[in-house]
Structure 1
Amino acid sequence: MSSAAEIAADVRAGRSTAVEVIERHLARAAAANPRLGALTVVFDDRAREEARRVDAVVASGGDPGPLAGVPFSVKENIDLTWSATTQGWRGARDAVPEADATIVRRVREAGAIPIGRGNMPDFGMRWDTDNDLWGRTLNPFDPARTAGGSSGGDAVAVATDMAALGLGNDFGGSVRIPAAANGIAGMRPSFGRVPRAAVRGMPVAMTLQQFSVNGLLARSVDDLALVFGVVAGPDPDDPVSLDLPRAGTEDRPRRVAVVRDPLGWGVDAEVAASVDAAAARLSAAGWTVEEVEPPMLEDAAVLWRRLACTDMLLTLDPAVLPEPLGEAATRFLRDSTAAARPFETAAGYAAAWARRAPIAADWRRFQVEHPIVLGPVQTSVVPRIEFDLGGEDAATAAWRALVLTVAANFLGLPAVAVPAGVDAGGVPIGVQVIGPLHGDLLTLAAARDAASRAPAPV
């Protein structure tokens, strides 16, 4: 597999053509996608047309951009005018947008080419990828295990060479979980760094405003850094997007806090060993590594869960939706909200948001001394499909395994998942590095040093 950076360099230099690149990835999609269900729609003809346009620019002596000819997938909840933005839900199967999302537009302007749509669960609610509209996405290492969610289709497409990059989003680990499950790299940028889709005049739930960001999936941390430089920056349509430097170094200590077993709630031995191996790589690269847990971790994770479930109940009420959620999504919503104790009063909801400030302040003070936090994406090895279903106990167990992951969302912090080994069954294990707010470049640097070689799917 070629990296996105290698593809773009070869196309810009004329060593290969965008048409050749696209044909190779389309052939891979034709061979693998019917079995894996990663891409809901494949843009055969339109991708070829875009590739010819890129090649014409090169032939005329022009520069198509830093992502010239790079095929990328677009998650089903990010607007691309080539197809409906279904959000994995039957009720939006005809919702073709009028304009590309800013993140899509920026990647296309840099020369990249959409090759397909990535599958996801209804409204991105689950940590597994399955829905009644498109069906299940399979993990290419073991079809009995989850591909992760909610950006599972894009992660599998990147892992299996159908696409070189994937555009997803991360509300509660939805980029990092499938990246880890499929042996690739996934980046959740800091709050405000990468613009999100915004529908003019439409209200947006508070948790979506604060916890969710558009994120990136790639075969390497270097590719994440390349595309992050393309997509970061303010957008008039996104009221929380920020104008911050895209390049340069960040003057912070190279110190890492290692959290092998968050809150002491239990961690699989193979996952703990992968965290230790990543810590050793960071130490060998010159980072100071210490075992210390960040403050108020449980508070952050619990409030993320209760606030998220409160908003899900309000915004996904079957009495409001024009068409019901899918069967699995309905079960997940029922079980998760029952177990999470959603807020029943405005006072409780407001008090929860008020608690966020002191928690964030404690983390900010902690990250002055320990800017990087290293730990598992999930404290278990990649679980079987539908691990997040099966009643309130199953919903709680899924959340408990992801406590460090959802804490980053609660606080708006940048986090990058990278490969860190495989389990006894040959399925990838991923770890994550969580950085300080807007310390995205430092987070990428730490992730680069923490990563092991990516495994190849069967």
Structure 2
Amino acid sequence: MVARNLTAADATELAALVRSREVSPVEVVQAHLDRVAAVNPRLNAVVTLAAEQALAAARHAEAAVMAGAGLGPLHGVPFTVKDSLDTADVPTLRGSPLFAGRVPRTDATSVARMKRAGAILLAKTNLPEFAFWTETDNLLTGRTNNPWDLARTPGGSSGGESAAIAAGMSPIGIGSDVAISVRGPSAHTGIAALKPTHGRIPATGHWPEVPRRFWNIGPMARSVRDVALGYAIMAGPDGIDGYAASPGDLDAGLGPDPARQVRVGVMTEPGFGPVAAEVAGTVEAAAHALRDLGCAVEPVRIPVLEASDGVALSAALFGAEIKPEFQRVAADRPGPLFWTGEAVLGRPDVAADAYVRAHQAVERLKDAMAAYFARHDVLLCPVTPIPAPPHGLPEFVIDGRTVPARHILSATVPFNLTGLPAMTVRFGTSREGLPIGVQLVSRAFAESTILGLAARLEAVRGIEDVHPPL
């Protein structure tokens, strides 16, 4: 296969090619290094390239193939990692001058598990400072551009990861998500991602550690089957992260019981505030496709969700914890901060009664979602209210209504607050040629249900346009 074809293949196909000796791990890694050299200067998605280590690991992987050794499910396949997750002997800079030169001694649990599956660490990818904004930019490693339109953002905080995968620099990677951060960037760049049930994948080795009860580690890839494979590899308790506990068997398949009809509710407005017509139309098109596939599909309302401002709730809950953490880091490691870090430090302290009210509102939201999932298996909704916006906009105009930039979180943050699994898959294209994704949400620990429906939507739409026209 030529280098272009190797960088267009998904991780599952690459692993099969390596296992059958049709290509060598060295060829696969070198093809992706060549792709990074060709497109990263325009994107700035990769911020640390582990080329020597990756090639050495590829040669070792090739020797194992030739010796007939047992091979892991991703043997010889390169992967990338968001720069908020520790990687042994490879810099983890967290998007801030405060951590310039920092090289961890150990891998994050998710990284270690990918390596044990045979995957080869290729590079670290960009993020906003401290992983706390919806666009990927910082003072240390700069701004990342969207491969579909360089004037637009790939989102945040896993924006470097989404851009790298969409552009063919990596077939599969690891992101993290506290409010939008694997799903929004994936929607903006046309790839797939899963935010599992909270605790399914340990957050050990991720920073910030707070608020850990809302942080999620998730796989990102160009195909749903790769997302499912990455999830199966990384999920399960590690004996360190106290939230990482999974009841029963891991739900890592690609679909629910085929003998039972899947019940799908569909919601755009008013549940998530203003949503652009082409995004709402894409959700409706996905609903029609699921109906044609035999699902029971109906429009739904969730009044508590409509009445709750998830963005404001997250600001109260997250702000009470991240401000002291950022203050500690800034005191321990003096240096310049990007405007996002300065904004966190400049926020007023959250009053105790406001913090308690926010917690109580989240409890009501959890109850409402439990009642919803007593009647339905899946919620189909937008990922973001608009396709990828231009860099740095303080507000958006959606069908004549002006909303602040933080509105981009409105359809994703409720499922961080409730801890429910949510899947993003592309299903449309905007008038300007930008990807539009849809979001599938299920009850806790039912990842296979949304992975299965996402795979079926992917099959309906097809996975053409694997690479943006760079």
TM over 0.5: yes
1:229 is aligned to 232
Contact 2:109 2:205 in 1 (8 A): no
The correspondence of residues 183-262 of structure 1 with structure 2, limited to 5 A, is 183-198=190-205, 204-205=209-210, 208-244=211-247, 245-246=249-250, 247=252, 250=256, 254-262=262-270
CA contact (8 A) 1:258 1:292 kept: yes
Q: Are 2:180 and 1:177 aligned?
A: no
- Aligned-pair CA distance for 1:313: 2.6
- Change in CA separation of 1:263 and 1:321 when aligned onto 2, cut-off 3 Å: farther
| TM-score, length-scaled by structure 1 | 0.91
Cα distance, 1:24 vs. partner? 0.7
TM-score w.r.t. length of structure 2: 0.89
Of all paired residues, the percent bearing the same amino acid is 35
1:277-297 Cα distance to aligned partner (Å, 9 max, x none): 111221122111111133421
Query: For the structure 1 residues 148 and 285, does the alpha-carbon distance in structure 2 shift closer, same or farther, using more than 3 Å as the test?
Result: same
Decide whether the 8 Å contact of 1:84 with 1:92 is kept in 2: no
Structure 1 letter corresponding to 2:299:
E
Match of 1:293 in 2: 301
Question: In structure 2, what is the equivalent of residue 76 of structure 1?
Answer: 83
**Does the 8 A contact of 1:253 with 1:370 survive in 2?**
no
Residues 220 and 257 (structure 1), Cα distance of their counterparts in 2 relative to 1, 3 Å cut: same
CA contact (8 A) 1:190 1:438 kept: yes
8 Å contact from structure 1 (residues 128, 147) kept in 2: yes
Alignment of 1:405-444 (within 5 A): 405-444=412-451
Structure 1 residue 44 displacement after superposition? 1.3
| Corresponding letter in the other structure for 1:82 | D
State the alpha-carbon separation in 2 of the partners of residues 384 and 71 from structure 1.
Answer: 30
Q: Which runs of 4+ in 1 moved over 4 A?
A: 247-253
Task: Check conservation: 1:12, 1:63, Cα contact below 8 A.
Answer: no
In structure 2, stretches of 5+ residues that fail to align are 1-7
CA distance in 2, matches of 1:196, 1:395: 36
1:372 paired residue number: 378
Q: After superposing the two structures, state which structure 1 stretch, 358-367 or 122-131, moved more.
A: 358-367
Whether 1:165 aligns to 2:168 is no
CA offsets per residue over residues 388-438 of structure 1, 9 Å max, x none? 589xxx996223232121001111111111112111111111111111111
CA distance in 1, matches of 2:393, 2:320: 22
Query: Which among 367, 371, 379 is matched to residue 361 of structure 1?
Result: 367
Q: Once the two structures are superposed, what CA deviation does each residue of 1:187-245 show, in whole Å capped at 9, x if it has no partner? A: 1111111111258xx9953xx22111111110111110111111111111111111341
1:242-265 CA-partner distances (Å, limit 9, x unpaired): 134124665675111111224363
Structure 2 residue 280 is matched with structure 1 residue 272:
yes
Preserved contact between residue 127 and residue 388 of structure 1 (Cα < 8 Å): no
Contact 1:147 1:178 (C-alpha < 8 Å) held by counterparts: yes
Gaps of 5+ in 1: none
User: What CA distance in whole angstroms lies between the structure 2 residues aligned with 1:404 and 1:389?
Assistant: 17
Does the 8 Å contact 2:130/2:341 carry over to 1? no
Q: For the structure 1 residues 441 and 23, does the alpha-carbon distance in structure 2 shift closer, same or farther, using more than 3 Å as the test? A: same
